Structure 1
Amino acid sequence: MGSAAVPVVVGIDNGGTSNNATVLTLDGRFLVDRLVETPSEVLAGPEAAVEAMARAFDGVLALTGVLREQVRAVGLDTPGPASATGVISSKGSTNFSQPAWRGYDIRGALERRLGLPVFYHNDGNAAALYAHHVHFGADAMRRSSVSAIVGTGLGGGLIQDGRVIAGAAGMAGELGHVHIPLTEVLAPLQPVPVCACGFVGDVESVASLTGIERNLLPYWLTRFPEHPLAGVSPARAAKLVRDHGERGDELAREIFAQQARALGALFTIAANFTDPHAYFVGGGVMETAPEFRDWFLAAVRQHTRLRAEQAALATFALVPDRDMAGARGVALAALEAVRAEPAPPPPLVGG
C-alpha cells in the first residue's frame, strides 16, 4: 500500500482501550482504509502507554510498507481535558485517572520516544477537524463548523477557517460541559441530571453513555417498569439502549430524543457564539442503522434554533469514517504543520 520514498505523516488516536493509527502522504492520500488497532495500555501508566503508542507507530508503518525515514511528523490525539500542547489536566480525566497522569506531557513524551515532531489535539478536536475537511474539501479553509462527539462522555470541537480553535489553555471546544436550558429537554418531574464532572445540567449529563447510565435510564425505567432492561445491570443496560433504539423501542427512543434535544440546545448556543457553516454529530450514537441515524440527526436539527439567515446557510451532517476520524484528523493537523514549515535555504554556490 505504501509508496517508496514518498514523505508521510502518521496519525495516532489514543483511547481508553486501543490506539488506532493511520498514514497520510504529504500529497494528501491516506494509505490505510480501516481501523489499525493495538492495545493502548493507559491503565498501566504513562510509560507503558507511550511504549504502546510507539508500537502502534511501528505497526502501521509495517502494514503500509513505509520506511521510518519517510515520516516527517506524527499527529496525536487523546481524550481531554488537556492543554493545547498535550499536557493532561492537573485533575486527570476519565481515561487518565491515575495520579501519575495528572499534568503529564504526553505529547512531549511521545516526541522524545520517537525522535520526531509530534503535534497534538484532543480527540474531539481531531474528529471535528477531519469532519470539517472531508465535508468542505477545497473550501475548508474558508468555512467554520462545530462538532459534538457523543461517546462515554461528550467531546467536541470548534473549527474556524479550517483550523481548530484551541483557546488560551487549549481547552476550547469542551462542549460537554456547557450548561444548557433544560426546560425543553427533560420530561415533567424528571430529576435534573448531574454530570460525572460534578456539573449540574450540562450537555454531557444528558448526551453521553454516562448520562444514559446515571441519569436518563434510571428515570425512564420508572416509566417503563416492565421493560427488559429493568433486570439488567445499569452499565450493561446503558450500552444496550442503542440496539433497542434501532428497533424502535419506545423507552430507548425517549432517551435518544432527549439527547437530540440536548444537542439542539448546545448547537443553538453555538449558533449565537460562532455562527458556523456546519454542525456535525459523531460518536457511538451515530454508529447505528441508517434509519436511526437519520431520525436522530433530524431531531437534532429540529431542536437547533437558528435565525432564517442562518438556516439558509447551515448544514447538519454526520462525522464521517467514525472510529477512524480521530487518527485521520490529527494526521491532517500534522500534515498542515509540515507544509507550513519554511523551506530550507538554497545551497550556497561558490564563486
Structure 2
Amino acid sequence: MANSDIPVVVGLDNGGNSNNATVLDATGRFLVDELVESPCQVLEGPEAAVEALAAAMAQVLAHTGTPAELVRAVGLDTPGPASATGVISAKGSTNFSQPAWRGFDIRSALERRLGLPVTYHNDGNAAALYAHHSYFGDEAMRRSSVSAIVGTGLGGGVVECGRVVTGTAGMAGELGHVHIPMYGLLAEGQPVPLCNCGFVADVESVASLTGIRRNLLPYWLTRFVGHPLGEVDLLQAARQVRQYGVDGDPMALKIFEQQAMALGRLFTIVANFVDPDAYFVGGGVVEASPEFREWFLGTVRTHTTLRTEQAERARFALVPDLDMAGARGAAIAALATLDGRSGSADPQPGR
C-alpha cells in the first residue's frame, strides 16, 4: 500500500501478449511483489496499444492503492528493435508487425496520453538495469555489469555506473549479434549456425530458443536417433528441451552446454571491451530447477576466459525476478529522472 505523502513512479513492461506494471516509490521501495498483468493489444495497432498501457497503469495504481496524483514519471520498456527514445524500427519487428508500427514513437505517444514524463528502454536493457540495481544495492552507481538474457532471441544490456549504455541509435547492448568463435564449440560435422538477422555464427544463433529450433536441435537429433523430441514439431520440441535438460536428458544437456559455451565466449569478448564488475544470465534457465540453474551458470563461467586480475573481482549471477525484471528496470529508469537524480535510489525488491 502506498504512503500518501511519498511520490512514486510507474514501470510498464510491454510484451508480446501482455503488459506488466509495477510501482516504485521515491524511497526505492517497490509496492508490488507479484505480476500485475493485462492484455497489451499490440496486434490491434498503436492507438489501442497505448490505451492498453494507460489501462495497465490505472490497474496497478488501483492494485496498490496509489493515488494517481502521486505519480511523477513513468518508465516504459518494449521489445526491440527500437531507438534509444522509443521509436519502433522502420523495418518493423516481430512484436510490432503491423505497418502502422513502423517508425512509431511509442514513448512520446504514451507521454501525451498520460500527461507525464516517460522514459524508455528496450526490454533487455530494462531487465539488465534491474539486475544491476538489485544485485549491487548501495554500490549500484559505482559498479558496471553486463546481462545476457536467453529467450526467443538473445537480449541483454550493458550498465555502467548504474545507467544503461544505449548508444547513439539505441543499439548498444545488442549482445545477441556479437560474432563469437565457433571452433571447439560446434561438434564434429555440426553446421555453422545462422541467425534470423542474417549473421552467421553470432551468439543468438546458438543461445536462444530460435537457435535451438533452427540450428542445435536439428543437428543433435541426428546424433540421438529415436529421441522422443524427434517425433514432435521442431518449435514445440525446442520449447520442451529445457524440461528435458532439467531431467538430465543427455541430448538436452549437450544443447545447453553449447548455449553456455556461447555465453562464455560472449563474456570473454565483453571482458576485453568493458571489464565489468558482474556478468548476469537470465531467461529460461532462471525458471528451471536450482540445480540446473547452478550447473548452467557454472558452465558459462567455466567458458569465460578472464585475466587473473579480472577473475579475482568478477561476479557471476542470475537475473532475479525475471518476469518482473522489465517493469522494475523501467521504473528504476523513471525514478532516476526525478528532481535531477543520478539514479542513486536503491530498489528494495519484494518490500
TM-score band by shorter chain is over 0.9
**Residue deviations 1:20-54, cap 9 Å, x none?**
10000011110000011111111222111111111
Aligned to 1:325: 325
Aligned to 1:281: 281
Aligned to 1:199: 199
Alignment of 1:23-62 (within 5 A): 23-62=23-62
Kindly tell me the number of residue pairs found equivalent between the two proteins. 342
For the pair 1:68 / 2:68, whether they are aligned, the reply is yes
Aligned to 2:99: 99
Letter in 2 for 1:245: G
Q: Matches of 2:14 and 2:94 in 1, distance apart?
A: 13
Aligned to 2:10: 10
**Residue deviations 1:226-277, cap 9 Å, x none?**
1111111111111100000000001110000000000001100100000001
Aligned to 2:345: none
Q: Is the 8 A contact 1:3 1:65 kept in 2?
A: no
Letter in 1 for 2:52: A
Aligned to 1:84: 84
Q: Secondary structure at the match of 1:312?
A: helix
**Residue deviations 1:95-132, cap 9 Å, x none?**
11222211110101111111111000111111111111
Alignment of 1:1-351 (within 5 A): 1-340=1-340
Q: Matches of 1:187 and 1:341 in 2, distance apart?
A: 50
Question: How large is the Cα RMSD of the aligned pairs?
Answer: 1.1
Letter in 2 for 1:242: R
Return 5+ residue gaps in structure 2 as ranges.
343-351
**Residue deviations 1:266-296, cap 9 Å, x none?**
1001000000010000112321000000000
Aligned to 1:349: none
Q: Is the 8 A contact 1:140 1:162 kept in 2?
A: yes
Q: Matches of 1:235 and 1:54 in 2, distance apart?
A: 34
Higher relative CO (Cα under 8 Å, sequence separation at least 6) belongs to 2
TM-score of the aligned structures, taking structure 2 as reference length:
0.96
Aligned to 2:346: none
Task: Call closer, same or farther: CA 1:321–1:339 in 2, change over 3 Å.
Answer: farther
Q: Matches of 2:17 and 2:230 in 1, distance apart?
A: 28
Q: Is the 8 A contact 1:184 1:261 kept in 2?
A: no
Letter in 2 for 1:61: L
Q: Secondary structure at the match of 2:336?
A: helix
Q: Matches of 2:300 and 2:264 in 1, distance apart?
A: 5
Q: Matches of 1:241 and 1:135 in 2, distance apart?
A: 29
Q: Secondary structure at the match of 2:34?
A: coil
TM-score of the aligned structures, taking structure 1 as reference length:
0.96
Aligned to 1:348: none
**Residue deviations 1:167-218, cap 9 Å, x none?**
0111100101111111122111101111111111111111011111111111
Q: Matches of 1:213 and 1:48 in 2, distance apart?
A: 33
Q: Matches of 2:68 and 2:39 in 1, distance apart?
A: 21
Q: Is the 8 A contact 1:151 1:285 kept in 2?
A: no
Letter in 2 for 1:176: G
Q: Secondary structure at the match of 1:4?
A: coil
Q: Matches of 1:289 and 1:265 in 2, distance apart?
A: 24
Q: Matches of 2:255 and 2:201 in 1, distance apart?
A: 16
Letter in 2 for 1:38: S
Q: Is the 8 A contact 2:285 2:292 kept in 1?
A: no
Shift in Å, 1:134: 1.1
Shift in Å, 1:341: 6.1
Shift in Å, 1:339: 3.7
Q: Secondary structure at the match of 2:43?
A: helix
Q: Matches of 1:90 and 1:182 in 2, distance apart?
A: 32
Q: Matches of 1:101 and 1:175 in 2, distance apart?
A: 24
Q: Secondary structure at the match of 1:94?
A: coil
Return 5+ residue gaps in structure 1 as ranges.
343-351
Letter in 2 for 1:315: R
